[in-house]
């Protein structure tokens, strides 16, 4: 095939063919130029004589230079297929360093490629850009952000779309697993993070799955690539996690890498299509086509393999906690001050507190779906407490802000032996009224337990009992900071949980713990549980009675041990664990809470509780 043959086939002069082939076609009509180029490519005509003397001669050869860290076969195949369709050949190169990239670019120049596609690598991107510019060959950067030179696949949107699938199922704590050395995987992770930010969720990057699952309570994972999701699947099988009953998983990968095993939902990327798009775009440059190519819009296919479900906490019933919310001011002292005595404090700290907060966070850390009802002030303490509750997964939609009263405070004196005494300033807790409970009545519709304390006004306690009963919600009542209890409430209470001091204060009948507990039982309480500190607890019901020893922990601060006990008891009863065994879990949770200063920091999570239960042979 000669230039004469091309001219005859095209119906133009030899001169016109020569000008078009050698890039000197500024005065030639677009239709004529495209017609001649089509025939040249169709017949594989290569003007050797012109190449020797004119560097502008077209060779119909493209250079594709990729980083090679993770070869993407679909992209390459899409690029090569489109190049073949348009009459071009491709020289494919892989490089992992600037030095090898420069060598490949030099080789592409020697072969007189018409255009170059170069994958952008952050570490040497600027240097590579200088080298490409110096070749004077049309080029594009692959997956770069520079609008002048770049063509990019929007991996961030893919990550966002994958995370959205999990968010729409109710997940708020999501971990993204990715290879930080891979740019496109970093972008997928960035998209997932943006999705969680937009939806007020918690995005996480952890060093291992144990940390994500047990310490930070992640309920779902976005995995970058098939290898990563295989690791998660194998971990789940080994550690007895069910997908999706216990954890939800989705992975993002090229559609050619999506398989039926493991049976995990996937977001399939069409990188073949993107490869064809990039090829068309780069061919436009040497052929000087006037029609602008439209921006690439990435499409994703969702392959549902039923590995996404709502979190466990949303499938289970709610625990409602109604009680005091305040800031604990902890003072470490040798012993309590006597009247008229001033004593030094060895240490002081401020922590979240109040039986409402303690029990709500305690239940949430054990995996329950928890809503808290109470009041805080419009002040720094109130804002800090709301943030802490949100971070621990407690629903605060019914925590109201009192614009007139400050957030409550508890001044706690902790002795050297771990025993403590409390001076309580109620603040905004005193404004919790019956109307406050009525405003949150809808929460009771899917609740199993209502945890009540008497550090809020009795009118609110009575209204809570009334609404709980109407919705068949079991009531756990902790009588604290109260001199007497309204006996009309007792027949409505399922679990009455005083400590030894509260029991004696509220009941003048009898002398022993057993006699006083029996009095409450006769007044209509279903189950009485008396917490006895280091002596364990005494439990009595209509047809059972037991003494349970305390879990063997060395106490440092006993403040809030009863709250840890109550929250754990509710959670494990919610799991349909028998009362006798649920009490053992509760006792262990209470014992663990005494080993650290402050209540909220000492509340136990599920993994740690299971560990100690196994270690101490308590199961």
pLDDT the model gives residue 340:
84
* Residue at token pair 């009963």: 469
- DSSP track, 529-560: EEE-GGG-EEEEESS-EEEEPPP----S--TT
- 549 has pLDDT over 80: yes
CA dist 106 and 562 (Å) reads: 75
Task: Tell me what pLDDT residue 51 has.
Answer: 43
Name the more confident of 322 and 9. 322
pLDDT of residue 464: 97
pLDDT above 60 (res 198) = yes
Cα(169)–Cα(247) distance, rounded to whole angstroms?
12
Let me know if domain 316-615 sits in CATH 3.40.1190.20. yes
- Which residue spans of the chain are classified as CATH 3.40.50.2300? 155-273
Is the pLDDT at 588 greater than 80? The verdict is yes
Instruction: Quote the radius of gyration of the chain (alpha carbons, Å).
Output: 35
Q: Could you report the per-residue pLDDT of 330-384, keeping only the tens digit for each?
A: 888 888 788 888 888 888 888 898 999 999 999 999 989 899 999 999 999 999 9
* Of the listed ranges 89-93, 109-113, 124-128, 252-256, the one predicted with least confidence: 124-128
Q: State the pLDDT confidence band at 410, using cuts at 50, 70 and 90.
A: confident
Question: What's the pLDDT at 267?
Answer: 96
Q: Counting every residue, how long is the chain?
A: 619
pLDDT digits (tens, 9 = 90+) for 420-430: 778 889 999 99
- 107 vs 91: CA distance, rounded Å: 10
Q: Where are the alpha helices (DSSP H) in 431-509?
A: 434-439, 458-470, 500-506
Token pair, residue 300, equals 């994703």
1-58: CATH topology is 434 Repressor (Amino-terminal Domain) (1.10.260)
User: For 384-398, how does the pLDDT look when each residue is reduced to its tens digit (9 = 90+)?
Assistant: 999 999 888 898 889
Q: What is the rounded CA–CA span in Å between residue 594 and residue 559?
A: 7
Across the range 541-556, mean pLDDT stands at 92
* CA distances, 549 to each of 362, 502, 552 (Å): 21, 20, 9
Residue 52 has pLDDT above 50, yes or no: no
Q: Is the pLDDT at 171 greater than 60, yes or no? A: yes
How much is the pLDDT for 69? Answer: 62
**Does the structure show a pLDDT above 90 at 182?**
no
Task: Give 593's contacts (C-beta < 8 A, 6+ positions apart).
Answer: 560, 561, 563, 564, 599, 602, 603, 604
3-state secondary structure of 381: helix
In the predicted model, what is the mean pLDDT of residues 158-186? 92
CA distance 437 to 443: 10
Half-sphere exposure (CA, 13 Å, Cβ side) for 56?
10
* CA 395 – CA 288 distance, rounded (Å): 60
Whether CATH 3.40.50.2300 fits 155-273:
yes
- Which residues in the chain are classed under CATH 3.40.1190.20? 316-615
pLDDT at residue 498 is higher than 50:
yes
Every domain of the chain with CATH number 1.10.260.40 lies at 1-58
The pLDDT tens digits for 445-493 are 889 999 999 999 999 999 999 999 999 999 999 998 888 899 999 999 9
Mean pLDDT, the chain, as a whole number? 88
Give the model's pLDDT for residue 122: 59
Q: Is the peptide bond before 290 cis (omega within 30 degrees of 0)?
A: no
Contact 366, 605 (CB under 8 A): yes
**d(Cα 502, Cα 481) in Å, to the nearest integer?**
9
What gap in Å lies between CA 152 and CA 102, rounded to an integer?
A: 22
Q: What pTM, to 2 d.p., does this model score? A: 0.54
Give the rounded percent of residues in the chain with a pLDDT score beyond 90: 52
Average pLDDT of 519-528?
96
Average pLDDT over residues 252-273: 92
Give percent of the chain above pLDDT 70: 93
- Which tens digits make up the pLDDT trace of 95-139? 877 777 888 887 888 788 889 998 876 556 677 778 788 878 888
Higher pLDDT, 148 or 244: 244
- 47 pLDDT exceeds 80? no
């Amino acid at each position: 095939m000669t230039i004469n043959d091309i001219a005859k086939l095209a119906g133009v002069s030899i001169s016109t063919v020569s000008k078009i082939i050698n890039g000197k076609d500024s005065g030639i009509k677009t239709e004529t130029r495209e017609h001649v180029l089509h025939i040249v490519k169709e017949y594989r005509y290569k003007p050797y004589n012109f190449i020797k003397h004119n560097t502008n001669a077209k060779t119909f050869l493209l250079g594709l230079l990729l980083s090679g860290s993770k070869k993407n076969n679909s992209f390459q195949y899409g690029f090569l297929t489109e190049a073949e369709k348009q009459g071009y050949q491709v020289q494919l190169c892989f490089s992992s360093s600037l030095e090898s990239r420069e060598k490949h670019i030099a080789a592409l120049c020697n072969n007189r490629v018409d255009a170059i596609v170069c994958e952008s690598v952050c570490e040497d991107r600027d240097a590579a850009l200088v080298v490409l510019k110096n070749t004077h060959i049309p080029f594009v950067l692959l997956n770069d952000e520079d609008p002048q030179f770049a063509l990019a696949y929007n991996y961030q949107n893919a990550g966002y779309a994958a995370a959205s699938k999990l968010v729409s199922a109710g997940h708020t704590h999501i971990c993204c697993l990715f290879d930080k050395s891979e740019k496109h995987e970093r972008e997928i992770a960035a998209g997932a993070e943006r999705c969680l930010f937009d939806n007020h969720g918690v995005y996480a990057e952890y060093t291992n799955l144990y940390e994500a699952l047990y310490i930070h309570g992640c309920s779902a994972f976005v995995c970058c690539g098939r290898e990563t999701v295989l690791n998660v699947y194998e971990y789940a099988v080994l550690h007895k996690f069910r997908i999706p009953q216990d954890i939800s998983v989705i992975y993002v990968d090229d559609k050619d890498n999506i398989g039926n095993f493991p049976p995990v939902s996937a977001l399939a990327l069409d990188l073949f299509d993107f490869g064809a798009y990039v090829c068309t775009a780069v061919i436009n440059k040497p052929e000087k086509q006037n029609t602008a190519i439209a921006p690439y819009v990435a499409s994703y296919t969702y392959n549902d393999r039923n590995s996404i479900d709502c979190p466990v906490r949303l499938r289970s019933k709610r625990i409602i906690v109604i009680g005091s919310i305040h800031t604990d001011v902890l003072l470490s002292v040798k012993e309590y001050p006597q009247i008229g005595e001033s004593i030094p404090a060895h240490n002081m700290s401020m922590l979240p507190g109040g039986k409402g907060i303690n029990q709500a966070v305690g239940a949430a850390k054990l995996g329950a779906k928890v809503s808290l009802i109470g009041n805080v002030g419009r002040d720094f303490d109130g804002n800090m407490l709301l943030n802490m509750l949100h971070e621990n997964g407690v629903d605060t939609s019914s925590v109201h802000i009192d614009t007139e009263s400050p957030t409550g405070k508890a001044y706690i004196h902790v002795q050297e032996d771990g025993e403590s005494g409390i001076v309580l300033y109620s603040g905004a807790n005193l404004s919790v009224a019956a109307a406050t409970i009525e405003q949150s009545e809808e929460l009771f519709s899917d609740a199993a337990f209502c945890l009540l304390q008497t550090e809020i006004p009795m009118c609110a306690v009575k209204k809570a009992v009334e609404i709980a009963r109407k919705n068949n919600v079991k009531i756990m009542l902790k009588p604290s900071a109260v001199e007497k209890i309204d006996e009309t409430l007792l027949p409505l209470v399922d679990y009455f949980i005083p400590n030894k001091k509260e029991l004696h204060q509220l009941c003048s009948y009898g002398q022993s713990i057993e006699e006083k507990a029996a009095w409450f039982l006769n007044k209509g309480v279903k189950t009485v549980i008396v917490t006895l500190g280091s002596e364990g607890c005494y439990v009595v019901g209509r047809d059972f009675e037991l003494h349970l020893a305390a879990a063997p922990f060395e106490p440092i601060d006993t403040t809030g041990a009863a709250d840890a006990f109550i929250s754990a008891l509710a959670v494990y009863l919610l799991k349909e664990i028998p009362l006798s065994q649920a009490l053992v879990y509760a006792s262990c949770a209470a014992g663990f809470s005494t080993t650290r200063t402050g209540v909220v920091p000492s509340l136990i999570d599920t993994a740690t509780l299971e560990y100690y239960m196994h270690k101490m042979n308590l199961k």
